[in-house]
């Protein structure tokens, strides 16, 4: 029996109905979608409407289109979520304060779960990121090592959604990291204190102490908040003077 659709935004409603079909039929990644003609009959719409709906679902990563055969179900990865988050942040002009708040929620939870579920491979990845952090010579190197550490910690949660969320956040967090680091330096913060904070987080995770790990992460993010709250004019003067916080940091601070 055909599924009845309202006549406004047919392609969008067809897309929603296709998602319901995927759920009802328990289709998984790589499984073929019913034929276009069959979908048109099931939803009581034209084939062009189905094609438009499929194109929309493919654009957000829920389907994969193939030449000469039916589309298949696809599991969206972090790049799709990152695109949506970036558009949201830019389009809605989300303030850095809001990003910092969300990051605190995500990272503190990740640290707690990582302490409960970390594996020897996870710890090795975090150790490697710490080795990288201890030898950085530029602000960009520091950001890269920081990303590697937090990504390894997210993987250690043994929760795909934690890893997916952090990966998706990275493009918008990159700007925040630069702003925070510039402010941290302007406020007199040191590289060594950042390294020490990460070391404390790692050792709490290694010990399997979820409470200490979450507290250590909270303390580290307080450093980030101090950098974020540094007066913007002071941050600007710091960059203008090409101030480096440590003899190892041989390049100027990155502009936001």
Identify the pLDDT of residue 217: 97
Query: What's residue 242's pLDDT?
Result: 38
- Low pLDDT (below 70) residues in the chain: 1-8, 78, 232-256
DSSP string, 114-154: HHHH--HHHHHHHHHHHHHHHT--SHHHHHHHHHHHHHHHH
Distance CA 249, CA 123 (A): 27
Environment class of residue 231 by beta-carbon count within 10 Å: exposed (0-12), middle (13-18) or buried (19+)? exposed
Buried b (16+ CB within 10 A) or exposed e, 183-196: bbbbbebebeebbe
The pLDDT of residue 3? 60
Reference 143, options 182, 166, 174, 184; nearest CA is: 174
pLDDT at residue number 51: 92
Per-residue confidence (pLDDT) for residue 119, from 0 to 100: 98
Q: Are strands 63-66 and 69-73 parallel, antiparallel or unpaired?
A: antiparallel
For residue 186, the model assigns a pLDDT of: 85
Check residue 237 and give its pLDDT.
54
């Amino acid at each position: 029996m055909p599924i009845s659709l309202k006549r406004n935004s047919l392609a969008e409603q067809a897309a929603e109905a296709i998602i319901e079909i995927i759920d009802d039929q328990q289709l998984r990644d790589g499984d073929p979608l019913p034929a276009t003609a069959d979908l048109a009959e099931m939803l009581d719409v034209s084939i062009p409407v189905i094609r438009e709906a499929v194109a929309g679902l493919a654009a957000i990563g829920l389907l994969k289109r193939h030449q000469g055969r039916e589309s298949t179900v696809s599991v969206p990865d972090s790049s799709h979520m990152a695109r949506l988050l970036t558009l949201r942040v830019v389009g809605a002009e989300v303030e850095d304060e809001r990003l910092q708040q969300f990051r605190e929620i995500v990272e503190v939870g990740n640290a707690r779960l990582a302490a409960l579920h970390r594996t020897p491979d996870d710890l090795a990845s975090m150790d490697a990121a710490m080795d990288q952090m201890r030898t950085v010579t530029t602000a960009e190197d520091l950001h890269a090592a920081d990303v590697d550490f937090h990504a390894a910690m997210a993987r250690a949660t043994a929760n795909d959604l934690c890893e997916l969320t952090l990966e998706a956040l990275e493009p918008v967090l990159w700007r925040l990291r630069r702003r925070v680091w510039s402010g941290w330096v302007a406020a007199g913060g040191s590289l060594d204190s950042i390294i020490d904070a990460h070391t404390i987080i790692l050792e709490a995770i290694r010990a399997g102490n979820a409470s200490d790990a979450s507290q250590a992460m909270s303390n580290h993010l307080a450093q980030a908040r101090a950098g974020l709250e540094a007066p913007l004019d002071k941050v600007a003067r710091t960059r203008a003077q090409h101030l480096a916080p440590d003899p190892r940091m041989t390049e100027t601070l990155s502009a936001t």
